[in-house]
Amino acid sequence: MKPFNYVFSLIFMFFVQSAGAIPLTASDDAGYRGDSVVSVLTEPNPVDLNAIWLDILFDASVLEFNNLLSNTLDVLTVDLANVGTGTVTAVLAAPITINSGSTEMLQALFAIRAAAPFGDTLVTFRCHDEQTGFGCIDYPFDPVTAKITVLRSAQIPLPATFWLLALGLPVLARARLRH
């Protein structure tokens, strides 16, 4: 009977732990080298949203962090001490407690570096943990990942007839002026 209780306790703890996490979503974006891209972190159904302390992780060789914006939350601090290694820590607070409606929590703005490789790179939003053993105590949520795609610029060659016409027009104009 004891093994059954132990297994039941583990399953119960798993569901309690997973039920405590808030399901956030992050939007994907795409752009060419040198373009600005944005990933939006959204909370579909906020409950007692007062403040959030989070880390934004990204590949610093592909993306350059530009700014954090929010229409609903006040950006209190943005720690850029580790931006060179691809980590930004931010603290945001709600002017009033938010309890309903889909809420755009923040927009993370990046620029795609000129030497960025083509393809996908990830931006991860995770709850900041001060390693105190309590985990994320302000607004716990599971890590959310957005995909930023670096696009290849497709150069379309001009048709040969365009170049023939461009070379032939001055010849025709000169011949007309002579006659």
CATH number at residue 104: 2.60.40.680
- pLDDT per residue over 64-88, tens digit each? 999 999 888 888 889 999 999 999 9
* Cα(51)–Cα(93) distance, integer angstroms: 4
β-pair partners for 149: 30, 120
* Cα(132)–Cα(148) distance, integer angstroms: 32
Which of 13-22, 66-75, 123-132 has maximum average pLDDT?
Answer: 66-75
pTM equals: 0.71
Kindly state whether residue 177 falls inside one of the protein's structural domains.
Answer: no
| Domain that includes residue 35, residue range | 23-151
Residue 118 has pLDDT above 80, yes or no: yes
Residue 96 has pLDDT above 70, yes or no: yes
pLDDT band at 130 (very low <50, low <70, confident <90, very high): confident
- Nearest residue to 89 (alpha-carbon basis) of 76, 98, 79, 74: 79
Question: What's the chain's average pLDDT?
Answer: 80
pLDDT, residue 147, reads 96
DSSP letter, residue 137: -
Q: Are 93 and 75 in contact (CB under 8 A)?
A: no
- What is the number of domains present in the chain? 1
Kindly state whether residue 166 falls inside one of the protein's structural domains.
Answer: no
pLDDT, residue 15, reads 40
pLDDT, residue 1, reads 44
Kindly state whether residue 8 falls inside one of the protein's structural domains.
Answer: no
Kindly state whether residue 15 falls inside one of the protein's structural domains.
Answer: no
Residue 129 has pLDDT above 80, yes or no: no
What is the average per-residue pLDDT within 19-33?
81
